[in-house]
Amino acid sequence: MCGITGIFAFNLVGKFNLVNVTAATKALHQRGPDHQDIYHDEFVGLGHRRLSIIDTSAVAHQPMWDETQRYCIVFNGEIFNFQELKNDLERRGVTSFFSHSDTEVLLKLFILEKEKCLNKLNGFFAFCVYDKQEQSLFLARDRFGVKPLLYLLDEDKFIFASEMKSVLAYGIEKEMDYTSLHTYLQLNYIPAPKTIFKNVKKLLPGHFIKVHNRQATVQKYYSIPYPWTANHGQLTLDYEQAKQKFSQLLEVSVQRRLVSDVPLGSFLSGGIDSSIVTGLAAQHKPNLHTFSIGFRDEKFFDETNYANLVAKHFKTEHTVFSLTNNDLYASVHSILDYIDEPFADSSAINVYILSRQTRQQATVALSGDGADELLAGYNKHEAFCSVINRGWKENLVSKLYPFWKILPQSRNNFLGNRIRQLNRFAEGMKLSSRERYWRWAGYAKDNVALNLFSSKSKEQFSYQEFESYKKELLQTIPENESINDILLTDFHLVLPNDMLTKVDWMSMANGLEVRTPFLDVDLVNFVFSLPDDFKINSSLRKRIAQDAFRNFLPTALYNRPKKGFEVPMLKWLRHEMKSLIQDDLLSEKNVRDQAIFDHVEIEKLKRQLFSSNPGDVHARIWGLVVFQWWWKKYFINQ
């Protein structure tokens, strides 16, 4: 696990600056605290920051060259089946290995098979191979987007990096993309391939880039095999057979992710997903260390009793980090400083703290991330299931939309939150399949987000470009959607751009590697071959996972509601952050001077925040706070 960066200069006159490569590499120091090195010649600069996991010796440092000194690799991630691949290479005559690292195996496999090697990799990765003889670069990102990879191509250079702060260290022009900003104001994140800057892109998951002769060619190498065709027939297993295969594949996935030359543990929230992963890991790793955080001030969200129960059940070495709201809030500024592109999923605060505390005892942690998107575990999946199988109850809720709309809505109490959910459901019932998904994925409608723009910003915004972007993001949803259609869209939109971005940033900010067994390619391919009702029905989400491990987990885990990994954001915005909002970031003067947003619309949001009917406004205000903090850091203070 590491941070990578590099630049390929097409025009040598005054364009290649080693100082920039050094600064870009240093910007990734939190991702790779163990070692830094740089390679450069007259064409290329490659930088690497290392978090040592497999073969921690110096011979596994990067940039890494093959014996011929033709090929050089910088690599971020882990290849879990590297030993199998190494054995296969040795059978094929490749025997001159100088390290025990997965990096060297990846490099030699690429030399032998070029892009075809990607189909053999089981793991997560972003890497670049430089061919010195051919003067070319090859870059690839893993299938589901666990690891990030940004790039910029213009007339005289190609730049890539694991994070935006590293790209910015090359001194690039910072021109904001208003389509990205408009999307961010709805979703609280920016989906690939766009970024907040017009000239910087995110490589999509399952894609690679070839850079040669001033050209960059992007190609896809992996798609989830869905919808099913004659070449990929839907499996004919019955439910009992599917449960057995699911549990077998998940156990193999967990075993693969236990390989480490440094201390390894497991996140344990007390929910079904992390409990399954922990239980399977404990079977193969004695004295497994597990970690959870508890919320002393927010008992509704505290799951430590369940985590303790699971830890006792599987006999793990368990540590609970018991936090107050003040402990949570104390990390907010550190998180805002680390974020280098607007991103406002507030649960990042919890992930940051859990990662920071876990890093004191382990360098690698397993997690249950990806299970909700794979197996239909969210409220919205239950809502889609209700829409698809609608009856008199759903139609009644829809007809009562004018009633729900006028009632007080808030996430801060049970009744207000229930009314909020009924209102969103009734609203979604009236929309087309794609618009329903988009509405339930975000916090603001298209026109509501656009109203936040100042007149100057609206001049920079193209509604046609936004609609084209949105259509591309929602292309996997047909007019009569199924649950599998929704899950596939989650895998393209929510999972890589929100959930995995959050975990990558917050864990790497603390030098911790997080591994996600639910995102093993064999498991994902299998689960997408299963019918909708194997995953969710009218009474049970993540059905196949819950049923497959029912006799494996403590019974108490099945008699409890699902809890979100949330923070008391509404409370903070109204109290601890009130001055920051009113007098600084969202003050009328600051908004007017900045000229990005309409100060009148911002004032409306602020009034709603402090009203008795806040609805989801806290999420929108938090999105604005994150953006303003980012803007101030990268445009005002630089």
Residues tagged active-site: 2
Which residue's entry shows tokens 């994902």? 524
Q: What six digits make up the tokens of 173? A: 């022009």
- Kindly list the strands in the beta sheet with 201-202, ordered across the sheet, starting from the edge strand earlier in the chain: 35-40, 44-50, 2-9, 157-161, 150-153, 201-202
Task: Give yes or no for a contact between 624 and 599, defined as CB atoms under 8 angstroms apart.
Answer: no
Tell me the two tokens of residue 554: 């403590």
Cβ 206 vs Cβ 143: under 8 Å: yes
CA distances from 4 to 378, 457, 512, 574 (A): 34, 34, 16, 40
Determine the Cα–Cα distance for residues 216 and 247; give it in Å rounded to an integer.
42
Cβ atoms of residues 270 and 560 within 8 Å: no
Summarize the chain as % helix, strand, coil (round to 5).
45, 15, 35
Name the E strands within 203-358: 207-212, 215-220, 264-267, 289-295, 317-323
Distance (Å, whole) CA 121 – CA 366:
19
Burial of 116 (C-beta count, 10 Å sphere; 0-12/13-18/19+)? exposed
DSSP letters, 447-464, are: HHHHHTB-HHHHHH--HH
Token digits of residue 215: 């050209």
The DSSP-derived string for 368-403 is -TTHHHHHT-SHHHHHHHHHHT--HHHHHHHHTHHH
- If you count them, how many residues does the chain have? 638
Q: Hey, what amino acid is at 480?
A: N
Structure tokens at 453: 């723009």
DSSP letter, residue 315: T
HSE-CB for 527 with a 13 A CA cutoff: 31
Q: Note the maximum CA span of the chain.
A: 73
Provide the 10 A C-beta neighbour count for residue 5.
32
The phi and psi torsions of 513 (rounded to 5 degrees) equal -95, 130
3-class DSSP state of 149: coil
Rounded Cα distance between 2 and 127, Å, is: 10
Closest Cα to residue 25, out of 48, 44, 2?
48
